[in-house]
């Protein structure tokens, strides 16, 4: 993998955290879910920091991993925003029911993208 400076990873992580929060907050229906969307990147960073302390990993390993993973959610939902928003609204109004489940295509797309991003994150930390 090509060398990317730590300052570049900080920018990628910060922009990714904003992209994650805004993309999730724009499709959820309730105020409480919008708050959770904004807390998500912070919780993810805290988890990764704790992981780093336990495993003895430094910021040069953890920051690229965080930056790559935080982009997985917005990337996994590309082209599916309207479907996700419609289903989330239905779920908030009617509760969990078959009509508000995401399509098989949306689930497969999200799964494949997240797995690819996870593989990229692991590959970067091993390289």
Q: Look at residue 44 in the predicted model and tell me its pLDDT.
A: 92
Distance CA 27, CA 29 (A): 7
Distance CA 66, CA 56 (A): 16
pLDDT digits (tens, 9 = 90+) for 29-64: 788 888 988 899 999 999 999 999 999 989 988 999
Show Cβ contacts of residue 27 under 8 Å, excluding neighbours closer than 6 positions: 77, 81, 84, 85, 88
Reported as a pLDDT band with limits 50, 70 and 90, residue 25 is: confident
Instruction: Supply φ then ψ for residue 71, to 5 degrees.
Output: -80, -15
Reported as a pLDDT band with limits 50, 70 and 90, residue 111 is: very high
Average pLDDT estimate for 74-98: 87
Distance CA 86, CA 98 (A): 13
pLDDT at 77 over 90: no
Show Cβ contacts of residue 56 under 8 Å, excluding neighbours closer than 6 positions: none
Q: Look at residue 2 in the predicted model and tell me its pLDDT.
A: 64
Average pLDDT, the chain: 88
Q: Look at residue 61 in the predicted model and tell me its pLDDT.
A: 87
Q: Decide if 30 contacts 51 (C-beta within 8 A).
A: no
Average pLDDT estimate for 61-83: 89
Distance CA 127, CA 3 (A): 10
pTM over 0.85: no
pLDDT at 1 over 90: no
């Amino acid at each position: 993998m090509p060398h990317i400076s730590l300052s570049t990873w900080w920018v990628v992580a910060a922009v990714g955290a904003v992209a994650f929060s805004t993309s999730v907050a724009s499709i959820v229906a309730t105020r409480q879910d919008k708050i959770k969307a904004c807390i998500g990147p912070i919780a993810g960073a805290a988890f990764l920091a704790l992981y780093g302390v336990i495993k003895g990993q430094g910021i040069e390993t953890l920051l690229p991993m965080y930056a790559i993973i935080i982009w997985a959610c917005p990337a996994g939902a590309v082209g599916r925003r309207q479907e996700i928003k419609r289903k989330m609204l239905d779920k908030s109004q009617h509760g969990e029911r078959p009509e508000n489940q995401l399509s098989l295509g949306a689930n497969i797309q999200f799964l494949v993208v997240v797995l690819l991003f996870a593989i990229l994150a692991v590959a970067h930390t091993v390289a």
